Structure 1
Amino acid sequence: MRTTLILSTALAGFGFAAAAQEVNVVSWGGAYEKSQVEAYNKPFAEKTGIKVNMIAADNPATPLKTQVEANNITGDVFDIEVSDAIRLCDEGALVEIDPADLPPAPDGTPAVEDFIDGALQDCAVANIFWGTVIAFDTTKFEGEAPSTAADFFDLEKFPGQRGLPKTPKRTLYLALIADGVPADEIYDALESEEGVNRAFDKLDTIKDSVVWWEAGAQPVQLLADGEVTMATGYNGRFFDAMVAEGKPFEIIWDGQYMDLDMFAIPKGSPNPEAAMEYLKFATSTEQLAEQAKYIAYGPARKSSAALVGLYQDGETEMGPHMPTNPEYLETAVMDDPEFWADHDAELTERFNSWLAGS
């Protein structure tokens, strides 16, 4: 039986005391999970007395959907992508969140003005901007090193296996970028049969040299094991491998795919009050900036930017490693959740047929 939350003036900032209370947070594991544990979970537990249980998933939206469909909700807060947040909110599966309930910036700026555009949805609040980028093993190339999305597809000049995610969302755009389509025209291209054909034609040029991955830790491991010479993956994972583990990797920012991760609370969660207090705490200015000590993902609040400094090693400046670095935004493709809500099913079906060789 859940312990009843008790109102307490001693915790006025949170609205309640939480003896023996807990909250179950479902996230992506790996270096990203570590950053959340250090920046959100530990200080939240210390301040409120609420225990935070971290649960890893390859994609937290998958168990969220399963739990909703089974009417058996065991998670309280899920870290999911924007398109999933919009879709599940439209289906009535998520708790609506009033921006007025979120903490303001330190200077009093309301949350609705402080969060970056797109970071607040009806049923979800963003915590980070992140990028899918290309990384390569510097020991595998003598002389000129790859530096563009087009180089990823140039097997003659830069030989070796390639690592790609087993999804159309983060492969079709890259093929088009490499084939010369400007970043701001990617979705226009993908809305046409000609553009989709063009993307698959480009993928055909490396299909026999691709190792497909499905979990965020895999591209880093593929590079480390020498199974591939270049791979696309999450910029924070590559950063962790490069800086924390000393791997000889380098990131190519050309044509990065930018997305937001968001916290959402399912209707029927076991600990709804604790879940909402966790969400508000974790998306405050200070905690979002604190996460940047541990991983190279950009905070979703404008007021957090000035607080981002050094990595936990006390030496590495985080700014140049952030996907939101202005230099990297010139050729970045921003996720369009509305596009994927409309086209995900058909493009996934075609992608799977292409993979199967039909």
Structure 2
Amino acid sequence: MSIRWKSLIAGLGVTVLALPGLAQARDFTIASWGGNYQDAQRSVYFAPFAKSQGDIRILEETYLGGLAQIKAMVETGNVTWDVLMIERSDLIVGCDEGLLEELDWEAVGGEDQLVPQAVHPCGAGNVVISTGFAYDPSRVKEAPKDYADFWNVEKWPGKRGLRAIPKSTLELALIADGVPLEQVYEVLATPEGLDRAFAKLDEIKPHIQFWEAGAQPVEWLAAGDVVMSTAYNGRIALANAEGRDLAFVWADHTYSIDSWAIVADSPNKELAMEFIKFANTPEPQAEFPKHIPYGPTNKQAAEMLDPTVSEMLPAGANMERSLLIDEQFWADNVDRITERWNAWIAQ
């Protein structure tokens, strides 16, 4: 079986899934992250849904994140997108600001079929994406097992790759300092806890190499520029499928969920609900990880996965020691914490 993987988002682009069929208010339009990721969605979700609806015509666009485009559509009354794949933090803010429709959960198949973390008034979580850390086994004498090892620069000398943003990074610092997963946000929400996270980062600051693009950790590990680095699980799986032999540590990984949402005032709202209902079902969700190594949110889909696929995904046993990113915490605190983060980086 050939496996296709998620790529970096390309520039803005438009693709038409040209299938003759029923007329609508305008073409049903779906916006997502582009690249191989959207190619997989087209195969698994878009084309089968179009066929199930009488070979309707679907227009695709590439979404680059944020709320600016959506806000402009809603405020001008020129809503050209119906459904989009959106990050949880933008989902929360967009829902609060009335930029996204509230879902009729009965119409989209019910809340119970999805893991609880995938359920939101304005969005249905569809994929689970993980950030753990990776290393090259050929370059270390002993395998690091957790973030305490990641911080141990005496036993594992060399640079560490960390993403150049506070979200997830501060959580990992507290985990490395011994904070239990279930207490991370309780601690981080206090001034003392925030100080503690930055103090822990101070311990390895001279050894940190900050990455911004998801491809960088793989490149740095391959070149020996870093001894270990945080990374997306999909990036490491892609590298290994292309001939690398990198190890990914699942212990205490963080994860987030991308969701399907409907733009407010969509003229195809009912059809959008039908699409989300289709995307919530177990069969396509179980098929998607065969193309891209990200986990499903449908409970039955997780049980349908082949073990050889599951071992690469944020699913099953890999979720036993994991932390869901608290997007509400970051929506409430991102400006304040980022200001401190930028000052710390500059020191």
The 1-side partners of 2:277 and 2:145 are apart by: 40
The aligned residue for residue 280 of structure 2 is 283
The aligned residue for residue 331 of structure 2 is 341
Measured after TM superposition, the shift of residue 126 of structure 1 is: 0.6
The aligned residue for residue 105 of structure 2 is 99
- Note if 1:324 corresponds to 2:310: no
Question: Match of 2:337, as an amino acid?
Answer: L
Contact 1:116–1:300 (8 Å) recurs in 2 = yes
The alpha-carbon distance between structure 1 residues 66 and 165, as it changes in their structure 2 partners (threshold 3 A), is farther
The aligned residue for residue 301 of structure 2 is 304
SS of residue paired to 2:112:
helix
The 2-side partners of 1:68 and 1:155 are apart by: 50
Which ranges of structure 1 fall in alignment gaps of 5 or more residues? 1-10, 104-110, 311-316
The aligned residue for residue 186 of structure 1 is 184
SS of residue paired to 2:93:
helix
The 1-side partners of 2:160 and 2:74 are apart by: 36
- Note if 1:351 corresponds to 2:313: no
Measured after TM superposition, the shift of residue 113 of structure 1 is: 1.6
The 1-side partners of 2:89 and 2:26 are apart by: 34
SS of residue paired to 1:101:
coil
Measured after TM superposition, the shift of residue 129 of structure 1 is: 2.1
Question: Match of 2:58, as an amino acid?
Answer: K
The aligned residue for residue 112 of structure 1 is 111
The 2-side partners of 1:73 and 1:181 are apart by: 45
User: For 1:97-134, what per-residue CA distance to the aligned partner results, in whole angstroms no more than 9, with x for missing partners?
Assistant: 1111114xxxxxxx222111131211111102222111
Measured after TM superposition, the shift of residue 89 of structure 1 is: 0.3
The aligned residue for residue 202 of structure 1 is 200
The alpha-carbon distance between structure 1 residues 287 and 37, as it changes in their structure 2 partners (threshold 3 A), is same
Contact 2:31–2:83 (8 Å) recurs in 1 = yes
The aligned residue for residue 89 of structure 1 is 95
The 1-side partners of 2:265 and 2:253 are apart by: 37
Measured after TM superposition, the shift of residue 322 of structure 1 is: 2.5
Measured after TM superposition, the shift of residue 190 of structure 1 is: 0.3
TM-score between the two structures when normalised by the length of structure 1: 0.80
SS of residue paired to 1:318:
helix
Stretches (4+) displaced over 6 A? none
Superposition RMSD on alpha carbons, in Å? 2.8
User: For 1:240-274, what per-residue CA distance to the aligned partner results, in whole angstroms no more than 9, with x for missing partners?
Assistant: 222x2121111111211122111112225586555
- Note if 1:214 corresponds to 2:212: yes
Measured after TM superposition, the shift of residue 56 of structure 1 is: 5.5
The alpha-carbon distance between structure 1 residues 171 and 24, as it changes in their structure 2 partners (threshold 3 A), is same
> Superposed, which structure 2 residues align to 1:1-358 within 5 Å?
21-27=27-33, 29=34, 32-47=37-52, 48-55=55-62, 57=64, 60-61=65-66, 64=69, 67=72, 71=76, 74-103=80-109, 111-141=110-140, 143-242=141-240, 244-268=241-265, 272=269, 275-309=272-306, 317-326=308-317, 328-357=318-347
Measured after TM superposition, the shift of residue 17 of structure 1 is: 5.7
Contact 1:147–1:254 (8 Å) recurs in 2 = yes
Contact 2:74–2:99 (8 Å) recurs in 1 = no
Measured after TM superposition, the shift of residue 202 of structure 1 is: 1.4
Contact 2:27–2:59 (8 Å) recurs in 1 = no
Contact 2:310–2:316 (8 Å) recurs in 1 = yes
The alpha-carbon distance between structure 1 residues 336 and 85, as it changes in their structure 2 partners (threshold 3 A), is same
The 2-side partners of 1:145 and 1:208 are apart by: 22
The alpha-carbon distance between structure 1 residues 226 and 42, as it changes in their structure 2 partners (threshold 3 A), is farther
User: For 1:129-188, what per-residue CA distance to the aligned partner results, in whole angstroms no more than 9, with x for missing partners?
Assistant: 2221111122322x2121211222222322332222222111001011111111111111
The alpha-carbon distance between structure 1 residues 221 and 68, as it changes in their structure 2 partners (threshold 3 A), is farther
The alpha-carbon distance between structure 1 residues 19 and 97, as it changes in their structure 2 partners (threshold 3 A), is closer
Contact 1:258–1:335 (8 Å) recurs in 2 = yes
What percentage of aligned pairs have identical amino acids? 40
SS of residue paired to 2:117:
coil
Question: Match of 2:94, as an amino acid?
Answer: L
Contact 1:21–1:274 (8 Å) recurs in 2 = no
Contact 2:147–2:175 (8 Å) recurs in 1 = yes
TM-score between the two structures when normalised by the length of structure 2: 0.82
Which ranges of structure 2 fall in alignment gaps of 5 or more residues? 1-20
SS of residue paired to 2:243:
coil
